[in-house]
Structure 1
Amino acid sequence: MKNLTNNLFKGVIFLSLLFLDPIGTLAQIPQVPREMYFADLTIRINEQARREIQLDVDALHRNQNYFKVKVDRANLYMPLIERELREIGVPEDIKYLVIQESGLIADAVSTSNAVGFWQFKQGTAEEVFLRVDNQVDERKNIVSSTRGAALYLRKHNSQLDNWMCALVSYQMGLGGAKSYFGNQYSGKKVIDLDRNSHWYFKKFLAHKVAFEGQNKMLVSNSGYLEEVRIQGPTSLKALAPRLGVSENHLKEYNKWASNGNIPGDKVYSVIYVNQGMPPTTPITAQVNSRPSGVENTSYSNNSSYPKITGNQQNATRPNQIKVNNINGVMAASTTTQSNFSQKIGIKEKKFRKINDLEKGARVESGKYYYVEKKKSHADVEKHVVLPGETLWSISQKYGITLSSLKAKNRIRSDRDLKTGMVLNLQEHRKRGESIPMVPGSEYRKIVEASNSPAVQTTASQNTQQEREQVRYEPAPSSQSSPQPPAQKVNPSRLTHTVIQGETLYRLSQTYGVSVDDIKKWNNLPDNNIKIGQIITIFKP
């Protein structure tokens, strides 16, 4: 009885320590499931393989202080890594491979002389367009090296047609993976893992299990990684005061610039820790999350574009803000392209090309302009054309190239643009498919939302003076976003400037009034209106 009592007491003490110990207990270590999902694959794991992977997971958690450092580092770098993988078209799950390869240590060097975040040898790095010499080693640049790794993996997957095989090819090369796997997994979506499965993939799954879901745990760092894209020649020393950090801070996070200098051969990504709050999640993360049966309103929040992040108090200075996650700048005053491009340190021809500007078009006060190439698609699926908008203004609003916008919608000029059209911003419209029009009742809500002072404040984050210019003193231009459809004079009286494609019937739908009322208020003898004509509307 005495021995039994002692054993029970010891058991209670052990269980108490197990649950009270904040470090490294079994209760804290995630367990390997019998079925996992990776990329577009379902991975079924037999018991022997599961135990093998679990041993690796346990080993990663064994030293909790070291594990915590890795989690902090992952939380800092992952938003940039995920973005680059997404843009290249590689599954985001691949992100755990960078932890496996280097532990996210920029200047990590393997015994085989592979270097950097993604452990590239020099020859392979140059194949994926990374510069490696005595001035620059982009293997140590988180943005460039992730893009290179994504290109490498995408190329291999296009031949192997299986993301598991493509991942293993990262360790053994394309030829080695082809020889090892043959065609047995080509196009296969369900994989059975056992003791004979490749060790490198099982080790990857261990990292996925260990680090997945840790993004809100064990985090001690404050702030987030901010990226600025710099066209040299310049130096980290010269950039430091402009970014509000020390030179040593930039050197710590930009070890790719071997001597602290940024050459002028191309644009380089410079990163630093911003102590503010990270940018909000783009609307794309929510576009397809609607319950079934809910009306498609993926364009309902488009009035919050362009998305402006960064140091908005210095928005008129270069390298301070991002417009739709692209480096941009706000014009402080109306000026020429030549003066503005010189002020922000970019060649006039390049500035004009980036922003799809016509030669001679004015740079307008309070407008946002890009200083690096726009994207081929927007972060939202659709856009409803509002009164006063042009193809150019829509392309600037979402950071999509003008040519892409035209191509996706098979539309050539503003003459073909009509208010209420639902334009594609991501997918190409099928040949012969007409552009749909949003219903009149919904269109009114969209127009009213776009004119809401609260929306305008959130969307532009401009000064009060700029908001007043946008709402009350629009300046028409062939290359800038024209005036909004209505400028308030009093709570019930609105004025509207007619643009291409509008009719009295369309205006009546927009504002919820009758055609006869519009004619009466404006002394119109018939239903004909002209582009540029000012129409008075009295809200009911």
Structure 2
Amino acid sequence: MKKNNTIRLTLLAFAFLIFGEAFGQVPQVPSEMRFADLTIKINEQARREIQADVDALYRNASYFQVKAERVNLYLPIVERELRAAGVPTDFKYLAIQESSLIADAVSTSNAVGFWQFKQGTAEEVSLRVDSQVDERKNIVASSQGAARYLKKHNAQFNNWMCALVSYQMGLGGAKAYFGTQYNGKKVVEVDRNFHWYFKKFLAHMVAFEAPTVMLASNSGFLEEVQVQGPTTLKALAPRLGVTEAHLKEYNKWSLRGNVPDDRPYSILYIKQGAQKSVPAIASSTQTQASETTYSPPARYTSSPPANPYPKITGNTQNSTQPNQIKANDLNAIKAAQNTRQENLAQEVGLKEGKFRRINDLGKNEKVQAGQFYYTEPKRSKAEAETHVVKPGETLWSISQMYGIKLSALKAKNRIREDRDLKAGMILNLQDFRPRNEPIPMVPANEYRRIVAGEETSPPSKSMTPKTEATQNPSTPSTSTTERNANRVIHTVVQGETLFRLSQLYGVSVDDIKKWNNLSDNNIRIGQKITILKP
């Protein structure tokens, strides 16, 4: 027995050493750091103090792993919203400091959510907080609010460090504390007497931009769709291929499981799989982007704003009444409210089973307000030749959009499950795709125009791409790059980072920064980046 105990203890010790190697290599605080557009110089006393905070964050390996998994899950969205608002993406570490990225975190002062807003402040930055919705618990909306708050305060200081401290002290408190000594300054010297909140932030920045964070193993990634209510998480769950409980877990902002109709709301859910080529978290030294997460979200409706389908004709003022409108030249009706299938079927004079078969509905699916439903059989092909898949769309929503039978849509494209859909895919709506021919992808520049609403109809066959960019949307197309013998001029698109460009062209991040005189890793959409050929 004593021998067995010795073996057991030896194995436990070995496991601890292996685990410690992965998660216990505590990153060290340097004497000089870059934050936003600032150079931060840290004296030795302050450096030791910040290092103690970093050590504390790494002390419990299992707790650190749990937090790192949340970081990998949420930070790509946080970074996207900060970049879109023109706020340095380094502020993403502030969300970790504030809430550990726990949606319903509540502080002792009754600050709530990912960015820890009190109700008054939340309303100042246009977040909805009432008995139905608390957008402080929505990672997209709250990150937009935090960006607005930080940008407004930075306008007073012209110094992002002061803006960060004002997040804790308020604008008046920060002005009283700093005065004007840092206004416009690009170098900040940190000593032991410097404000504790900024030193705590630097500790989080050092801890969570470290490569060890990459070791967190997520089983999926966050997918975002925008939903215009009125509807419920329960009704959305089967469309998104998840459970109602799953949607409630990742959408705690919906306090009663409802999605209001005043505007579109971001719905998040875990999509299974992994981004094999791109790590989910971005650091200030190697900034990565999740392709799926960064896709522009589409409203969850049967009629995307850039697409004229379904074509609605007839007495559209009475579209919720039977025998008034046609959708794609088929008799149809617009549901006036959420209800059961049998109710709408009875209203249009059909047996429930026939209504369900015509609209390819599951037996227990509810009729959704605002959705168009057919009252005569859909066709085996659509008027349009092809459709470009947008984020949040399903095979069912596409079949309803064009009045094509769901079985026909699946058969023409040799695709059976919604999980096989990818944003940017070009689906056939008329002809069958040849066996063993992969579904092509629209080039990145064309896809952006379609999602942004510049493309008014689906691409025709003549537009179907045949190039290498078709098979890999991340490959730069000639429409986004200008080439000559010695260099490439690349135009930055949404979701691209210096790290992504370095992988794309086989050069280092430091080289790109040097060639373009960049002082930090922040780049913006539309920016021209020079790449010299290696």
Q: What interval of TM-score do these two structures reach, taking the shorter chain for normalisation?
A: 0.5 to 0.7
2:449 aligned partner = 397
Aligned equivalent of 1:149, options 146, 151, 154: 146
| Aligned-partner Cα distance in 1 for 2:24–2:117 | 37
Q: Shift in Å at residue 451 of structure 1?
A: 5.6
User: What TM-score, normalized to structure 2?
Assistant: 0.55
1:336 aligned partner = 311
- Deviations along 1:226-269, one digit per CA (max 9) or x if unpaired, are 01110011111111111111111111111111111111111111
What are the within-5 Å matches in structure 2 for residues 206-245 of structure 1? 206-214=203-211, 217-245=214-242
Q: Which amino acid is the alignment partner of residue 147 of structure 2?
A: A
1:33 aligns with 2:8: no
1:113 aligns with 2:165: no
2:156 aligned partner = 159
What are the within-5 Å matches in structure 2 for residues 216-365 of structure 1? 217-278=214-275, 324-327=296-299, 336=311, 339=327, 364-365=384-385
1:98 aligns with 2:150: no
Structure possessing the higher relative contact order (Cα contacts under 8 Å, 6 or more residues apart): 2
SS in 1 for 2:386: coil
Q: Structure 1 residues 334, 251: closer, same or farther in 2, change over 3 A?
A: closer
Q: Shift in Å at residue 221 of structure 1?
A: 1.9
Q: Shift in Å at residue 399 of structure 1?
A: 4.0
Q: Shift in Å at residue 369 of structure 1?
A: 8.2
| Aligned-partner Cα distance in 2 for 1:33–1:325 | 39
SS in 2 for 1:22: helix
- Deviations along 1:63-85, one digit per CA (max 9) or x if unpaired, are 11111111011001111111111
Q: Structure 1 residues 172, 255: closer, same or farther in 2, change over 3 A?
A: same
- Structure 2 unaligned spans of 5+: 1-9, 314-326, 337-369, 372-381, 393-444, 456-461, 475-534
2:428 aligned partner = none
Q: Is the 8 A contact 1:231 1:267 kept in 2?
A: yes
Q: Shift in Å at residue 222 of structure 1?
A: 1.0
- Structure 1 unaligned spans of 5+: 1-12, 290-306, 311-321, 352-361, 373-392, 404-447, 461-540
1:75 aligns with 2:99: no
SS in 2 for 1:186: coil
| Aligned-partner Cα distance in 2 for 1:190–1:363 | 62
Q: Which amino acid is the alignment partner of residue 109 of structure 2?
A: S
Q: Which amino acid is the alignment partner of residue 397 of structure 1?
A: R
Q: Is the 8 A contact 2:223 2:292 kept in 1?
A: no
Q: Shift in Å at residue 49 of structure 1?
A: 0.5
Q: Is the 8 A contact 2:153 2:166 kept in 1?
A: yes
| Aligned-partner Cα distance in 2 for 1:400–1:161 | 32
Q: Shift in Å at residue 94 of structure 1?
A: 0.2
Q: Is the 8 A contact 1:109 1:116 kept in 2?
A: yes
| Aligned-partner Cα distance in 2 for 1:400–1:41 | 34
| Aligned-partner Cα distance in 2 for 1:308–1:42 | 30
Q: Structure 1 residues 335, 200: closer, same or farther in 2, change over 3 A?
A: closer
Q: Which amino acid is the alignment partner of residue 241 of structure 1?
A: P
Q: Is the 8 A contact 1:336 1:363 kept in 2?
A: no
SS in 2 for 1:274: strand
Q: Is the 8 A contact 1:327 1:370 kept in 2?
A: no
Q: Structure 1 residues 32, 308: closer, same or farther in 2, change over 3 A?
A: closer
1:88 aligns with 2:85: yes
SS in 2 for 1:74: helix
2:167 aligned partner = 170
Aligned equivalent of 1:138, options 135, 148, 155: 135
1:127 aligns with 2:124: yes
Q: Shift in Å at residue 277 of structure 1?
A: 3.3
Identity of aligned residues (%): 58
1:452 aligns with 2:486: no
| Aligned-partner Cα distance in 2 for 1:363–1:199 | 64
Aligned equivalent of 1:191, options 188, 194, 212: 188
Q: Shift in Å at residue 453 of structure 1?
A: 5.2
- Deviations along 1:429-450, one digit per CA (max 9) or x if unpaired, are xxxxxxxxxxxxxxxxxxx999
SS in 2 for 1:252: helix
Q: Which moved more, 1:273-282 or 1:209-218?
A: 273-282
1:525 aligned partner = none
Q: Which amino acid is the alignment partner of residue 449 of structure 2?
A: K
| Aligned-partner Cα distance in 2 for 1:22–1:48 | 31
Aligned equivalent of 1:366, options 379, 386, 390: 386
Q: How many residues align?
A: 336
Q: Is the 8 A contact 1:71 1:214 kept in 2?
A: no
- Alpha-carbon RMSD across the aligned residues, in angstroms, is 4.2
Q: Is the 8 A contact 1:136 1:257 kept in 2?
A: yes
Q: Which amino acid is the alignment partner of residue 57 of structure 1?
A: V
- Deviations along 1:275-320, one digit per CA (max 9) or x if unpaired, are 02349779xx9xxx9xxxxxxxxxxxxxxxxx9969xxxxxxxxxx
Q: Shift in Å at residue 218 of structure 1?
A: 3.1
Q: Which moved more, 1:273-282 or 1:181-190?
A: 273-282
Q: Structure 1 residues 66, 97: closer, same or farther in 2, change over 3 A?
A: same
1:55 aligns with 2:52: yes
Q: Which amino acid is the alignment partner of residue 195 of structure 2?
A: H
Q: Shift in Å at residue 154 of structure 1?
A: 0.6
| Aligned-partner Cα distance in 2 for 1:135–1:94 | 29
What are the within-5 Å matches in structure 2 for residues 403-482 of structure 1? 452=466, 454-456=468-470, 458=472
Q: Structure 1 residues 276, 164: closer, same or farther in 2, change over 3 A?
A: same
Q: Shift in Å at residue 23 of structure 1?
A: 3.0
SS in 1 for 2:215: coil
Q: Which amino acid is the alignment partner of residue 39 of structure 2?
A: T
Q: Is the 8 A contact 1:132 1:138 kept in 2?
A: yes
- Deviations along 1:26-72, one digit per CA (max 9) or x if unpaired, are 96111110000000000000001001101111111111111111101
| Aligned-partner Cα distance in 1 for 2:77–2:468 | 31
| Aligned-partner Cα distance in 1 for 2:157–2:291 | 40
